[in-house]
Structure 1
C-alpha cells in the first residue's frame, strides 16, 4: 500500500466502495450462484473468478477517468463525441435505466422473499415496508451515507454465507481446478452469462464513475480492489452453499434444504442473506439509474429529473412485488439481459480511458490494461451472442 495512504483512509475507502459490492450482490447473485451450484456443482466457479477480476479492472478504469478529468464517464463521452450524438447518450441512458428497472424487480422480490421466510408476513405488506424505507433513504440524498451503510450490511451478509459455505466441504483440488479451468457444461450458457452479468454490472460502471470524485488514485484502487474481491468471495460462498441443494430450485427449497442438512440456523442465515442482498441492491439500482442520467445528460443531483428517475425504477420494483410475481424467472432474465448490455458499455469505457486528448499520460491505460479490457469485451460478447443464437435457433 502506498505510503500516502493511511490505514484509516484505506479502510474508509473499502467501506465506501462496498457500494459496488452491494450493487452486484443482489438477489440475482444469490439466485444465479445458488442455482449454478445446485445444477453444476463447482464447475462454474471459473466464471466468478473471471467476472470478479473483470469487475476490478473495469471499475478501476471508470473511477480513474473521473479522478483524472474531473468528469464522470458519461460527461467524458459527451465531451469526446459532442452534441451530435446526444441521441446515443439518451439511448444509452434508456438502456441502462431499463437494466436497472429489471434488476430492481428482482431486488424487491428477493428482499421480500427473504423477509417472508424470516417473518411469515404477507408479500404486499413487506413490499410496502421495504419500498418506504428505500424511498426515505434515497430522498435524503447522501450517497456517502448510503454507501457506508450498505458496506456494513454486505460484510454481515458475507459472514452469513461464508458460514453456510463451510459446511459444503468441497475437495480443495477440485475447487482450485474449477477456479482456473473454463468449462461449459451442457445447458449452462444462460447461467454463465447470468453469473457474469450479475457481477460485472453495466450500470455499476456509471455509478462508480459518478461517485469517485474527490478520492486519490491510491485510495480508489485500494478501496475498489478489496471491496470487489470481498464481493467475489461472497458470490463464491453462495455458489458453494448451492451445492448442498437438490431438486426444483426456489428460495423456499434452498432454505428448507439447508435447514434439513445443517439445522435451523442455516435456513435463517440464508433468509437473512437473501433479504440483505435484495435490500442493498434495491437502494443501489435506482441510485445508479439517476447517477447515469446525471452523468450522460448533465442533470444536477437532487433535480426533479434525477429524483424522477430513481423513483420510476423504484416503482417498477414495487409493482412486481405487489403483483407477487414469481421471483426466480424474473431475476435470471434480468442477469442475462445485463450480461448482453455489458460489452457495449465496456467498449464506451475503453474509448474514454484511452483518449489522449483528455486524459494525462499518467492516467491512460497501460498496454496490458487495454488488452485485458478487450479480452473482457470479447468473452462477454461471445457468450451473449452464443446465448442469443441458442435462443433463436
Structure 2
C-alpha cells in the first residue's frame, strides 16, 4: 500500500483556524487592547488552548469513525432528536455566515469607500470563488485559505513593526494573569474572548475536512494520520493564537498608550491613519478583508456539511451556498438600511451561536467518549474530563452573555 507523505495530511486545521481570527474576534481584541493594554493577553492564550483541545477531538472523531459530526448525529440519534440538533446547527451556520460576510463588507466599505449596502452585495463573490476552486480539488481550496491566513499574519507583522510594542510586557502578559485590571468591564471582555472562541461551524468543518485524507488505511496508518492531524491542528491554531494576540498587541501599542478607546473595527481603521500613516491603515484594511473572505468561505463550506444530513439527501452545493448567503445577506441589508450598525448585527450573531453551542459540544464529547464508537482510539480519560470542564465553562459563559445581551 502506498504510504502518503506527511504533508498530504496537513491543511484541514488551517481551514478551521480562520474561524478563530474572524472579524467578530477582531472587535473584542481591539477593545481589550485599547482599553487595558496588554493585560488581557493571557485570556487569548487560555481561549486558544481550549480551542486546540476541542478541535483535536473533532479531528479524532472524523479520522476514527470515517464520518463527520453532522453525519453521526443523523445516523445515531435519528428522528426528532437528530432533526432538532441539525436544525439548530443550520441556524448556527446562518449566524456564522452573517458575522463573516459583514467583515468582508466592512473591509470593502473602508478600503474602497463604497456604501456598506453595496459592499454586502459584493460579498457573494467569495462564494463563487470557493465554488470555482472546488472544481480543482480540496487542496486548491485549502491552499487558498492558507494564503489568506498568511496575508493576515503578514499584515500584522507589518503592523507590529510600525507600532513598536513593549515586548517585555507582551511576554509577561501572554502567560501570567493580571488581576489588577479586573473590573466588571474587563471581566465582560475576557469572558467574551473565551466564550466566543469555540464556534459550532469549526467543529463540524474540522470533523468533515479530515475525511478528505482518508482511504482504506489499516489501524496502523490511522494512528499515523491521528499523529499528523495533531501536528496540523496545533500548528494551525497556534498561528491563530499569534494573529489574535497581534490584534490585541497592536491595539495596546497604538491606542491604549495614547489614551484612545476603540470599540469597533472601522474606528480602528480610521484612527490608525492619522497616528501611524496611511500604510498602517491600509495594511489593517487588507488584513481584515483577507480575514473576512477566508472565514466567510469556510462558514459556507460548513453550511453544506450540515445541510446534507439535515435534508437526508445529496444537495446541489452551489445552490446551498448561494441560498445560505442570500438567507443571511437580505436581512442584513434590510437592517443596515434601517440604520443598524454592523457591530449590532455581529452581537446578534454571537447570541445565536451561544444558544446553539451546547447542541454541538455535548454530542461531540459524547461521541468521542463512546468505547463502542471509538474503540482503542478513544481519548484518555483525563482528556475527556478536561474537555467536559472546558465545554461546561464555555457553555456557562455563553449563557451568561445571553442573559446579559
Category of TM-score, reference length = shorter chain: 0.7 to 0.9
Deviations 1:212-244 (A, max 9, x none): 112522221111110111011101111112222
Question: Which residue in the other structure is 1:60 paired with?
Answer: 56
How far apart are residue 204 of structure 1 and its match?
A: 0.8
How far apart are residue 364 of structure 1 and its match?
A: 0.4
> 5 Å matches for 1:302-313?
303-304=315-316, 307-313=318-324
Q: Retained in 1: the 8 A contact 2:12–2:206?
A: no
Question: Which residue in the other structure is 1:376 paired with?
Answer: 390
How far apart are residue 326 of structure 1 and its match?
A: 1.9
How far apart are residue 299 of structure 1 and its match?
A: 3.6
How far apart are residue 368 of structure 1 and its match?
A: 2.1
345, 367, 388: which one aligns with 1:330: 345
> 5 Å matches for 1:210-225?
210-213=208-211, 214-215=213-214, 216-225=225-234
The two structures have a TM-score, normalised by structure 2, of 0.84
Question: Which residue in the other structure is 1:42 paired with?
Answer: 38
**Secondary structure of the structure 1 residue equivalent to 2:114:** coil
How far apart are residue 352 of structure 1 and its match?
A: 0.4
> 5 Å matches for 1:105-120?
105-120=98-113
In structure 2, what is the Cα distance between the partners aligned to 1:134 and 1:340? 26
Q: Retained in 1: the 8 A contact 2:98–2:346?
A: yes
Q: Retained in 2: the 8 A contact 1:100–1:288?
A: yes
The runs of 5 or more residues in structure 1 that have no matched partner are none
Q: Is the alpha carbon distance of 1:38 and 1:337 closer, same or farther for their aligned partners in structure 2, counting shifts above 3 Å?
A: farther
In structure 1, what is the Cα distance between the partners aligned to 2:309 and 2:319? 15
182, 185, 188: which one aligns with 2:183: 185
- State which drifts further: 323-332 or 25-34: 323-332
Q: Is the alpha carbon distance of 1:336 and 1:314 closer, same or farther for their aligned partners in structure 2, counting shifts above 3 Å?
A: same
In structure 1, what is the Cα distance between the partners aligned to 2:286 and 2:351? 25
Deviations 1:181-216 (A, max 9, x none): 275531245433432344322211111111111252
Question: Which residue in the other structure is 1:194 paired with?
Answer: 192
In structure 2, what is the Cα distance between the partners aligned to 1:190 and 1:309? 36
How much is the aligned-residue C-alpha RMSD, in angstroms? 2.6
The two structures have a TM-score, normalised by structure 1, of 0.86
> 5 Å matches for 1:149-164?
149-164=144-159
| 1:23 is the counterpart of 2:34 | no
Q: Is the alpha carbon distance of 1:76 and 1:98 closer, same or farther for their aligned partners in structure 2, counting shifts above 3 Å?
A: closer
Question: Which residue in the other structure is 2:364 paired with?
Answer: 349
Q: Is the alpha carbon distance of 1:35 and 1:248 closer, same or farther for their aligned partners in structure 2, counting shifts above 3 Å?
A: closer
- State which drifts further: 379-388 or 345-354: 379-388
| 1:358 is the counterpart of 2:354 | no
**Secondary structure of the structure 2 residue equivalent to 1:359:** helix
In structure 2, what is the Cα distance between the partners aligned to 1:109 and 1:389? 24
- State which drifts further: 274-283 or 190-199: 190-199
The runs of 5 or more residues in structure 2 that have no matched partner are 215-224
Question: Which residue in the other structure is 1:242 paired with?
Answer: 251
251, 263, 267: which one aligns with 2:277: 263
In structure 1, what is the Cα distance between the partners aligned to 2:82 and 2:130? 28
